[in-house]
Amino acid sequence: MPKGRPNTMNNYGVLLHELGLDEPLVTPLRTRFLQPLTALLYPDCGGGQLDSHRAFVVKYAPDQDRELGCHYDNAELTLNVALGKAFTGGALYFGGLFQAPAEPLEVEHMVGQGILHRGGQLHGARPLDSGERWNLVIWLRASAVRNRLCPMCCREPELVEDEGYGDGFTREEPTTVDVCALT
């Protein structure tokens, strides 16, 4: 089976599309449950226009990745759910949009609970003290937003052909008119 890294910062985990879980699990979760919620909470950053995602599970353990430095995500919105295992430490912390947190807000990540935030909000995970923490992370993307401005470099993107969701960018198809319907 192919084995990609979950993202550029985590070394331990799995991409859900490699397990065949995008269409039966993550896409319905995004379209039926998350998008109605994000449309209300985050209309200004594409919450009502989510049309792709990147979903992965990451693992934190004392002898592996113990923490995650301050970063922002390649997403308009991010859902991070603590899946299980017993652990201590590893609180999440948050700063501002694309701004380093001077006085970060810390949130204890609790098993069975999720945290929804803007992808551009700087955040990280404090060191794990003991145990293992597994997290489901879904980067939610809206091509209507990212086709105008790349969330990683804040410039207009130059689109190229790619497989799958292509990091959430899409080529806009030219509008066609059915001439027969006009007569």
Q: Quote the pLDDT of residue 179.
A: 46
Q: Count Cβ atoms below 10 Å from residue 58 Cβ, excluding itself.
A: 24
Helical ranges in the chain per DSSP H: 27-28, 35-41, 143-146, 179-182
Q: Quote the pLDDT of residue 37.
A: 96
Q: What residue type is assigned to position 36 of the chain?
A: P
Q: What element of type H or E holds 4?
A: none
Which residues have CB under 8 Å from 7's CB, separation 6+? 54, 56, 58, 74, 137
* C-beta separation of 53 from 26 below 8 A: yes
Distance CA 146, CA 152 (A): 10
pLDDT in tens, the chain (183 residues): 557 777 777 878 888 888 899 899 999 999 999 999 999 999 998 999 999 999 999 999 988 888 888 888 989 999 999 997 889 999 999 988 776 667 889 999 889 999 999 998 999 999 999 999 999 999 999 988 888 877 777 788 776 665 555 566 565 543 444 444 444
Q: Write out the two tokens for 115.
A: 């945290």
Q: Quote the pLDDT of residue 137.
A: 96
